[in-house]
C-alpha cells in the first residue's frame, strides 16, 4: 500500500491519506509509546479539532504500551480541559500511561478482545552507582508519581485509593468486562464508527 487513497469526483481525482480522512471524521489514533513527540502531536490534533468545532465529540483510539509520565499527563490534562467531549476507545492494549490516556475520556469504550493494564509506575534507566540521597530523591519522585496516577484511576473509576493501590501493586491486566466492573471502562463496542 502506498498510503494514499484516490477518489474520483467532479473536480477530478483527489488523493488523501487515511489519517487525513479520519481527522475529518474527528478520529485520532494514539498507537505508539508515550513520549514528548507522540504527545505533542496528539495535543496539536486535539487543540485543532477543539477549535475547529468546539463541543463536537472527538474519538481517540488507543493501543499504547505506555511511556513517559510527564508527556502522558500533558495529553490527559489537555483532553480533560477541552470544550469538546472526548471518547476514548481501546483498540488493542492500553497499558501503563496508555491506560491513563484511556481514562481521560468521558466515554471509555473497549473492543471485545482488548485489555487495559494498570500498575504502579516504574523507575527506568537506573545505571551505574548512586548515592543514598540520589536514590532517596528518585524514590520520593516515584512515590509522588504513584500518588498522581492512583488519584486519576480512583477519580475516573469511582474506586477508593486503597482499592487502586491494591490493584496496581503488580501489573494488572483487565479484560473489557473486568475494566467495566472496576469502573475504568464505560462500555464494550463491536465497531469504532
Q: Which residues are known to be catalytic?
A: 96, 119
Q: Check: CB of residue 87 under 8 Å from CB of residue 61.
A: no
Q: How many CA atoms lie within 13 A of 81 on its CB side?
A: 8
Q: C-alpha grid cell for residue 123?
A: 523507575
CA end-to-end span of the chain? 23
Q: C-alpha grid cell for residue 139?
A: 524514590
Q: What angle do CA 75, 80, 82 make, to 5 degrees?
A: 95
Amino acid at each position: 500500500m502506498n498510503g494514499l487513497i484516490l477518489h474520483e469526483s467532479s473536480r477530478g481525482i483527489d488523493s488523501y491519506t487515511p489519517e487525513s480522512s479520519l481527522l475529518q471524521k474527528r478520529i485520532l489514533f494514539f498507537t505508539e509509546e508515550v513520549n514528548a513527540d507522540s504527545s505533542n502531536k496528539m495535543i496539536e490534533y486535539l487543540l485543532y479539532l477543539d477549535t475547529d468545532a468546539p463541543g463536537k465529540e472527538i474519538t481517540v483510539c488507543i493501543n499504547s504500551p505506555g511511556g513517559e509520565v510527564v508527556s502522558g499527563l500533558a495529553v490527559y490534562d489537555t483532553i480533560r480541559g477541552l470544550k469538546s467531549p472526548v471518547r476514548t476507545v481501546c483498540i488493542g492494549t492500553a497499558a501503563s500511561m496508555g491506560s491513563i490516556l484511556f481514562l481521560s475520556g468521558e466515554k471509555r469504550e473497549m473492543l471485545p478482545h482488548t485489555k487495559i493494564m494498570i500498575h504502579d509506575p516504574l523507575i527506568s534507566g537506573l545505571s551505574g552507582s548512586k548515592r543514598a540521597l540520589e536514590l532517596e530523591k528518585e524514590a520520593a519522585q516515584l512515590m509522588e508519581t504513584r500518588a498522581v496516577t492512583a488519584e486519576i484511576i480512583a477519580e475516573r473509576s469511582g474506586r477508593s485509593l486503597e482499592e487502586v493501590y491494591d490493584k496496581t501493586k503488580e501489573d494488572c491486566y483487565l479484560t473489557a468486562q473486568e475494566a467495566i466492573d472496576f469502573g475504568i471502562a464505560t462500555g464494550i463496542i463491536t465497531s469504532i464508527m
